[in-house]
Chain A
């Protein structure tokens, strides 16, 4: 057990803090949430600045401790979050780094790090959400290409993406987990139609993607043919293991702002509300320590986070919803009912956390079966 940083790590933190203090005031104004091209330009611009300053690859190839320092300091300074680069930096990038060939790494990783390419995630389908292995989008081999037909849905950032990490069925006759392959699909290929979906939170965050005989080179397959399920499990363990580190720090900051707001508007006099905020403080502090521990343990285990990510994801997604429910109580009516309030937007989007990236129910199954060893069944 050790929570101390080496002098080198502390020096890294100091340098980063100094750089952030100079870089952040020079950033352009944040674009409107509905302005997708604006959001793309803003997020890629920030990634480019990180890259030029030598911080571009900290999400995946640094030591776990440096990554933690990076995420903590950028969030404390109020720097932009990964945004449009989420899939590239936190899903596809680490997966290609872990499972791709040298050629594939050289081709796809530098543009992600330099802020030149946006990736989206083509996993879910209308009939393959939590039951991802029932996906039906088919890829038929035609020489050195796959010809792909099917439909993806809930595809985040599809509208502005250059590449898609796509799961396809390459062997319909094989058992359902064994006939799947992981492909990198260019989003400008003929035959792709993107139709934005409006979410309950208002703006379109994701889209339906229709694939009509889209040709993707066989060379774009990451991992062996039909071995895509295993590759996907690597991707998902990154998603559950480390992708939320920055958000936990953000939630702790939000909780502080919430307390200040409550003190200013008189809601602080309510002891029930105060106790609720105090308890959330304990919760987010523990979640931060848990994810620190997970990232450290993943580093020791060769970089791939373990099933502990499911433990974190479950409790965090609940705590995030409790945080914004508490925010509504602090604001009271009409504040909590005002759709233009920043809190309201965050409260609405928090509803997706217990569903996206594996529902809470699926995470509980994973914990019960893979960690606790309970029998399979329904």
Chain B
């Protein structure tokens, strides 16, 4: 049935989102988060619980043991993971659930690294993954494959040659893939994989952006200076209002892109969600003042993760160039 055009989640979708939030609150609350900062090794038991809850198998057909839901549902669940700052190769686990045995249930942890992307070649949680899918070509990177055709390879964790990187995000260990063998090619729809990875990453950014607004508002409503709560000052109010505006713009873009599933809306959604996550974390830090600049405050964890995701999948100059090119194509069509 089709009602009026409506971007609000349905009752079923709200229930799905609430159960994801509930699971994460119980299993990855503030104490667990701070413990992970000290030891970022993946919580395998939590990973299996996420698998049992359907986090990875959400979009697999029910006949294959999945939940049979769609991209909009996945986006809502990833938004919750972004709110909670849940670490781990979540996007890889979800996108490869139908490809890598054990990924759907959370029994095995799978990583995904796009070495075709410009510059980065970063692999998150290299020490925690049981397997790695490498994607190369087709996005203009210097991947050495020569013909530029996108390809995917299945790797054991110790096959690629790695350079160590001390990650800016204490919750996300990183390694740079210096070289890798091309021994086990996989038939994957790489264009779709990259598009959906960008959208799910945008959903994580959206969740983080929404959470930092809440943190800023909570602080501004509690903290007193000059004898009043700082949230009464227009300068602070306006910072908070701009944060909410970024969230709502990003949310519209992310939700709409999840419904159409088209490439350009996904690119636009990633740009706006990146902006919301990064700038909101910075404004949240500003609202917290000196308290926010301490290691003890969680604000820096949101900012560092947002910077990390900004570099993943679609972002920056290439994304904006693609959207500019599309404007010319629009004119040709109409």
Residues of A within 8 A of B (CB): 1-6, 63-65, 68, 76, 255-260, 263, 271, 274-279, 281-283, 285-287, 289-290, 292-293, 295-297, 299-300, 308, 311, 314-315, 361, 363-365, 367-369, 371-378
Contacts and interface: CB of A to CB of B under 8 A. Distances in A.
A289 B320 contact: no
Contacts of A276: 320
Contacts of A378: 232-234
A296 B6 contact: yes
A289 B334 CA distance: 21
Interface in B214-258: 217, 220-221, 228-229, 231-234, 236-238, 240-242, 244-245, 248-250, 252-253, 255-256, 258
Contacts of B231: 368, 374-375
Contacts of B233: 377-378
Contacts of A364: 234, 237-238, 241-242
Given A5-B2, A260-B328, A376-B232, A279 B271 contact: yes
Contacts of A256: 327-328, 330-331, 334
A168 to B, nearest CB: 30
Interface residues of B, number: 60
10 contacts: A1-B6, A3-B259, A65-B4, A258-B327, A275-B321, A282-B268, A285-B268, A373-B221, A374-B231, A375-B228
Contacts of B3: 2
Nearest to A369: B237
Given A289-B256, A300-B4, A279 B237 contact: no
Contacts of A5: 2, 5
Contacts of A365: 234, 237-238, 241
Contacts of B13: 1
Given A263-B328, A315-B249, A2 B5 contact: yes
Contact of A271 (B2, B321, B322, B328): B321
B324 A277 contact: yes
Nearest to A260: B331
Given A367-B244, A374-B240, A1 B255 contact: yes
A4 B2 contact: yes
Contact of B244 (A259, A282, A297, A372): A372
Given A277-B327, A278-B319, 4 more contacts: A259-B330, A260-B328, A292-B256, A374-B217
Given A3-B256, A263-B328, A368-B241, A285 B265 contact: yes
Nearest to A68: B5
Contacts of B236: 374
A374 B328 contact: no
Interface string B129-159: 0000000000000000000000000000000
